[in-house]
Amino acid sequence: DQQVKQNSPSLSVQEGRISILNCDYTNSMFDYFLWYKKYPAEGPTFLISISSIKDKNEDGRFTVFLNKSAKHLSLHIVPSQPGDSAVYFCAASAPGADYKLSFGAGTTVTVRA
Amino acid sequence: DAEITQSPRHKITETGRQVTLACHQTWNHNNMFWYRQDLGHGLRLIHYSYGVQDTNKGEVSDGYSVSRSNTEDLPLTLESAASSQTSVYFCASSELAGGTDTQYFGPGTRLTVL
């Protein structure tokens, strides 16, 4: 049973506009969340993370928001650029489970010129 | 520069054959992980290791094994390849024992089992 869900398999956005990627989780023990970005024929690379003690974390054009009560997090990319076209994976970890990462299925983002 | 490499990058094999995928990292990280990526499932953990001689099963470990004889390498063995094991395999490593630490991924191995 997948504990981390990305219900939108794809997202198309115009260059310069905002991209919003969503992620839901079911395990209330998750206390650390990460986003990874993956280009074709490459391995995933870390993008941004957030601890459960925060509700927002920013890094340049990327902001992650966490709503613990709703078990929901989102990644905002502003402004979107053509180089942002990739697959984005949401991941989460919980203490007491060897801190293994549980990944969502991914969202493919396409930024249109 | 430190890196994590995987070989081969592509492999075609037949059902029932034993296959070994290599993973080598020069980060000197204690922790190493093997994942498989399948459409609709994202990345699923196969096996992981938190140090030499330490190995642990992940959520999809059936039919796979690993061994850790040194810090740098964590080879993944498919004992008897099955068509259901056709997938893209990623190796990763991290410094700290825990999901709060960034995992660095290799470029992946695309395995096809005919």
Mean pLDDT of B95-111: 84
Size of interface A-B (CB pairs under 8 A): 66
Beta carbons of A100 and B45 less than 8 Å apart: yes
> In this predicted model, what pLDDT tens digit does every residue of A40-81 receive, in sequence order?
999 999 999 999 999 999 999 999 999 999 999 999 999 999
Q: How confident is the model at residue B1 (pLDDT cuts 50, 70, 90)?
A: confident
Beta carbons of A46 and B102 less than 8 Å apart: yes
Nearest residue on chain B to A101, judged by CA atoms?
Answer: B99
Q: Give pLDDT, residue B21.
A: 98
Name every chain A residue with its beta carbon within 8 A of the beta carbon of B30. Answer: none
Residue B100 has its nearest CB partner, among A44, A93, A105, at: A93
- Chain B CB within 8 Å of residue A51 CB: yes
Question: In sequence order, what are the residues at sequence separation of 6 or more whose Cβ sits closer than 8 angstroms to the Cβ of residue A60?
Answer: none
**Average per-residue pLDDT in chain B?**
93
Beta carbons of A105 and B42 less than 8 Å apart: yes
B28 CB neighbour count, 10 Å cutoff? 10
Question: In sequence order, what are the residues at sequence separation of 6 or more whose Cβ sits closer than 8 angstroms to the Cβ of residue A18?
Answer: A76, A77, A78, A79, A80
> In this predicted model, what pLDDT tens digit does every residue of B25-70 receive, in sequence order?
999 999 999 999 998 888 999 999 999 999 999 999 999 999 999 9
Q: Give pLDDT, residue A1.
A: 72
Q: Give pLDDT, residue B10.
A: 97
Q: Report the distance separating Cα A12 and Cα A15, nearest Å.
A: 10
Name every chain B residue with its beta carbon within 8 A of the beta carbon of A50. Answer: none
Q: Report the distance separating Cα B47 and Cα B58, nearest Å.
A: 5
B19-25 and B76-78 beta bridge pairing:
antiparallel
Beta carbons of B100 and A99 less than 8 Å apart: yes
Residue A36 C-beta-side C-alpha neighbours within 13 Å: 25
Q: Mutate which of B36, B43, B44, B96 to disrupt the A interface (most A C-beta within 10 Å)?
A: B43
Closest CA to B65 of B34, B88, B96, B36: B34
Q: How confident is the model at residue A34 (pLDDT cuts 50, 70, 90)?
A: very high
Are A107 and A88 in contact by the 8 Å Cβ rule? The answer is yes
> In this predicted model, what pLDDT tens digit does every residue of A75-97 receive, in sequence order?
999 999 999 999 999 999 887 66
Q: Report the distance separating Cα A88 and Cα B5, nearest Å.
A: 22
